[in-house]
Amino acid sequence: MSILWYASGFSGMSEREEKSRLFDATDSLVSSDALVLFGATGDLVHKKIFPALYALAKRGILSKPVVGVARQPWSLLQFQQRAEDGIKSSCKIDDRQALIHFLSLLRYVEGDYNDPGVYLAIKQVLADSRRPAHYLAIPPALFATVIKGLGESGLADNARVIVEKPFGRDLASARELNNIAKSVFPEESIFRIDHYLGKEAIMNILYFRFANSFLEPIWNRNCVASVQITLAENFGVESRGEFYESAGCLRDVIQNHLFQIVALLAMEPPAYRGYEAVHIEKAKVFKAMRPLQPEDIVRGQYVGYRDEQRVAKDSDVETFCSLRLFIDSWRWAGVPWYLRSGKFLAATAAEVLIQLKPPPQKLFADSAPENGRANYLRFQLSPRFVIALAARVKRIGKEFVGEQHELDLLYKQSEEDMPYARLLADAMAGYSVLYTRADAIEAAWAVVEPVLKYHESVIPYYPGSWGPEKSDTLIAADGGWFNPKLE
Ligand code: BG6
């Protein structure tokens, strides 16, 4: 079966058009008739999910009950106020009617996920709903409890489950979680979320690579010297100290968000038109990644992290991580991939640099690499959407000297990008193309597995820096880090 390319969210289609397009894709998909939000009073729901649902309400494609579940003994009114507050703090309320409509869809159930009573209460509130989608915006340690609770109470019947990342905390726990989820839900009803896959700029990587023909001849070990990806944030762990203590940067963003970007950059062309083919090629990339060794990674911790709330005074958890990765495939043999991410760095930005090799002969005195970088391709994913190709051109004059200029193929302020709106709409419609598959997640864990336990202690770094100096040493042989361009 060939699944058509399709992405919901901000496609601008009406609900009817969207449904008919979806049913074009496969006629067996039936929409969920309620959304149950576990972890409804948490940060993620406040910051990302309420604004996303409001965006869907504005587009007229949210008409089903949204049931919040959490431990707090809140009234429905309190829950509605919290929702409104979440929306206001992330976007402008420019459609009062849509807001009122969204708030009217909210329900609230209080309870402990270990208590079977909570699932009965959800059932009562769901009333006539027969095909709910359960979204687990809860600490990973509770995923299994809730999935089992859903199964035992009958709430999993005809239902879907959307599981937040990190999916597991190592290979064994990811496998176990996959087994538990599959013992309760059929695979096509399990949606493992990585919100990066719903981002406009990330989807553009896939499009840019395979909608153009000029890249393919250079997109390999013959022309690419190295690849580097930076995901930097200029703020700390904020109120998420407890979560961070159980995760750290490698588990929080590298094994998932950054690896997904690597997979899109490194994959072979999909063999046919359809996202299933993309999943197949991405999984192969994870399988070809060489498992990391302690000397491939640098772990840092910002000065002040140990004073954050719910953080151990002697914590060895990394808030910064950089690493060197190899993909042992025909295309990428010998090409190092450098990834880095961290909290409290010098900027908030995400950028990819494909560093091309210098010309084989140094015909001009100012040629790379002695005189700066060789040509490169740069994708800024945030705060702007940029795709730029850097090439040297001669300066006017007698001398054969020049400089490197960037040709902007795309240069835009990033627009309101709500990956969660796209992803939740897709999951409720049963459309899983932008979700990650079990085999890919397990293969990605296998890559980081060796360094989860065996690694050097964290190295302190100052907030506002680019992490520990040792991270610069890691990439020194390949021209050093390229800090995201923000001007
Ligand atoms: C989340 C991580 O998955 O991604 C956060 O848990 C991180 O620590 C966030 O800040 C980054 O996402 P975005 O969309 O803000 O780049």
Q: Whose CA is nearest to atom 8 of ligand 1?
A: 252
> Which atom from ligand 1 is nearest to the alpha carbon of 233?
10
> Which atom from ligand 1 is nearest to the alpha carbon of 196?
14
Ligand 1 interacting residues, C-beta cut-off 6 A = 233, 252-253
pLDDT along the chain (487 residues), means of 10: 38 41 48 97 95 95 95 97 96 93 98 97 94 95 96 96 95 96 96 95 95 97 98 96 96 98 98 91 98 98 98 98 98 98 98 96 84 92 95 94 92 80 95 93 98 96 98 96 91
Q: Whose CA is nearest to atom 13 of ligand 1?
A: 196
Question: Which of 44, 193, 253, 318 has most ligand 1 atoms within 8 Å of CB, for mutation?
Answer: 253
Adjacent-strand bridge partners of 320: 300, 342
Question: Which of 195, 235, 320, 341 has most ligand 1 atoms within 8 Å of CB, for mutation?
Answer: 195
Q: Whose CA is nearest to atom 4 of ligand 1?
A: 253
How many whole angstroms from 253 Cα to the centroid of ligand 1? 7
Query: Which residues define the annotated binding site for substrate?
Result: 195, 199, 233, 252, 343
How many whole angstroms from 446 Cα to the centroid of ligand 1? 22
Residues whose CB is less than 8 angstroms from the CB of residue 154 and which lie 6 or more positions away in sequence, other chains included? 123
How many whole angstroms from 196 Cα to the centroid of ligand 1? 9
How many whole angstroms from 254 Cα to the centroid of ligand 1? 10
How many whole angstroms from 465 Cα to the centroid of ligand 1? 19
Supply the pLDDT for residue 415: 67
Residues whose CB is less than 8 angstroms from the CB of residue 351 and which lie 6 or more positions away in sequence, other chains included? 229, 230, 378, 379, 380, 381, 482, 484, 485
How many whole angstroms from 320 Cα to the centroid of ligand 1? 13
Burial of residue 278 (CB within 10 Å: 0-12, 13-18, 19+) is buried
How many whole angstroms from 469 Cα to the centroid of ligand 1? 24
Q: Whose CA is nearest to atom 14 of ligand 1?
A: 196
Q: Whose CA is nearest to atom 7 of ligand 1?
A: 253
Nearest to 292 by CA among 320, 325, 316, 259: 325
Distance CA 344, CA 309 (A): 16
Supply the pLDDT for residue 310: 97
> Which atom from ligand 1 is nearest to the alpha carbon of 419?
14
> Which atom from ligand 1 is nearest to the alpha carbon of 247?
6
Supply the pLDDT for residue 25: 42
Adjacent-strand bridge partners of 37: 68, 135
Nearest to 373 by CA among 405, 334, 336: 405
Query: Which residues define the annotated binding site for NADP(+)?
Result: 71, 165
Supply the pLDDT for residue 1: 32
Supply the pLDDT for residue 15: 44
Is residue 134 within 8 A of residue 38, CB to CB? The reply is: yes
Supply the pLDDT for residue 28: 57
Is 455 an annotated catalytic residue? no
Question: Out of 46, 101, 134, 257, which one is annotated catalytic?
Answer: 257
Distance CA 54, CA 367 (A): 53
CB atoms within 10 A of CB 68: 28
> Which atom from ligand 1 is nearest to the alpha carbon of 244?
8
Query: Which residues define the annotated binding site?
Result: 71, 165, 195, 199, 233, 252, 343
Supply the pLDDT for residue 17: 43
Supply the pLDDT for residue 12: 39
